[in-house]
């Protein structure tokens, strides 16, 4: 039932992602639900978000501002250009989402995720308008670039992850060690060098949103929504979900489960492995099948 192009690719990225999910000991519900929903969207089970509608659903700042196509702000985040694009984003989200949902609780993490989704898209539109229209860099044509993917939100979560888990230094691409304090910024530029068709503005928007949560109004907004939800719906059994399957040591829990679903590989090593596998089969396209498009 999958489309012809998907048959040719054999959805290798989806299969690889499913393998990681099935071999995970435990994944908190919001993190798991977010990944499964994006897999469902990618496989075409939601006709309104089918793959051939990417040109109509991608984040295109000029259309959002001039035609008020607000649906693009959200739809663009959950659509992906191909199977490996989906895999890269979801395997990265799996690690960050799992640890942050454990820290915040599922209700708070869900609210945080929704806030980041909308804020990242709005920030990306604002940055595109600021650079091209206000500062006059019209040759970049940022207002006409079509972007899809979840990595802007992932970059925002990475800022939080580095703040709440500062002792977990990053090893980018499996060989480049960097302090967690600067990990986001180093990764921002390295990804752009390795994958030029990645959305630099989208990733930058995610970092800004993460910083706005830690140091600005987004935390206040999330607190307000969280408190309102608590007053309206209450807490089941008088306590919130804490993300732990059993009562283990908090200092070793995250590291143990990391090995359970990654086979001992770091996030960057998994991404490098997937990239090598995709290049070996010559299946990973250099860009989505439409002009002026970027993956995020």
Q: How far apart are CA 265 and CA 274, in angstroms?
A: 12
Phi, psi of 250 (to 5 degrees): -65, -20
Under DSSP, the state recorded for 70 is T
Within 10 A of 181 (CB to CB), how many other CB atoms are there? Answer: 12
Q: Which residues of 207-235 are buried (b: 16+ CB within 10 A; e: fewer)?
A: bbbbbbbeeeebeeebeeebeeeeeeeee
Instruction: Report the relative pairing of strands 293-295 and 146-148 from DSSP bridges.
Output: parallel
Q: How far apart are the first and last CA of the chain?
A: 27
Alpha-helical (H) ranges within the chain are 4-9, 12-22, 29-42, 54-57, 61-67, 71-75, 83-104, 106-129, 151-164, 183-194, 200-215, 217-233, 253-262, 267-280
Q: Looking at the annotation, which residues are catalytic?
A: 151, 203
Under DSSP, the state recorded for 198 is B
Q: How far apart are CA 291 and CA 99, in angstroms?
A: 37
Is residue 131 helix, strand or coil? helix
Nearest to 150 by CA among 96, 76, 97, 83: 76
């Amino acid at each position: 039932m999958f489309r012809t192009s998907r048959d040719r690719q054999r959805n290798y990225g989806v299969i690889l992602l499913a393998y990681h999910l099935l071999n995970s000991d435990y994944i908190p519900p919001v993190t798991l639900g977010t990944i499964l929903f994006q897999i469902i969207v990618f496989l075409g089970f939601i006709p309104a978000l089918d793959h051939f509608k990417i040109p109509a659903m991608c984040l295109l700042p000029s259309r959002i501002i001039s035609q008020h196509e607000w649906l693009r702000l959200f739809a663009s985040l959950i659509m992906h250009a191909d199977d490996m694009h989906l895999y890269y984003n979801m395997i990265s989200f799996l690690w960050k989402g799992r640890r942050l949902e454990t820290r915040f609780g599922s209700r708070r993490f869900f609210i945080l995720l929704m806030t980041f989704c909308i804020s990242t898209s709005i920030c990306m539109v604002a940055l595109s308008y600021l650079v091209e229209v206000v500062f006059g860099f019209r040759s970049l044509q940022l207002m006409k670039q079509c972007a899809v993917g979840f990595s802007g939100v992932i970059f925002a979560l990475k800022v939080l992850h580095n703040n709440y888990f500062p002792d977990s230094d990053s090893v980018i691409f499996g060989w480049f060690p960097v302090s967690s304090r600067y990990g986001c910024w180093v990764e921002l530029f390295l990804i752009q060098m390795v994958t030029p068709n990645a959305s630099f503005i989208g990733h930058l928007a995610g970092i800004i949103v993460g910083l706005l949560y830690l140091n600005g109004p987004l935390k206040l907004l999330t607190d307000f929504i969280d408190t309102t939800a608590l007053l309206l719906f209450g807490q089941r059994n008088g306590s919130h979900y804490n993300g732990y399957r059993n009562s283990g040591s908090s200092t070793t829990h995250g590291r143990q489960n990391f090995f359970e679903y990654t086979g001992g590989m770091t996030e960057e090593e998994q991404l490098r492995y997937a990239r090598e596998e995709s290049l070996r089969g010559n299946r990973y396209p250099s860009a989505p099948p439409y002009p002026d498009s970027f993956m995020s």
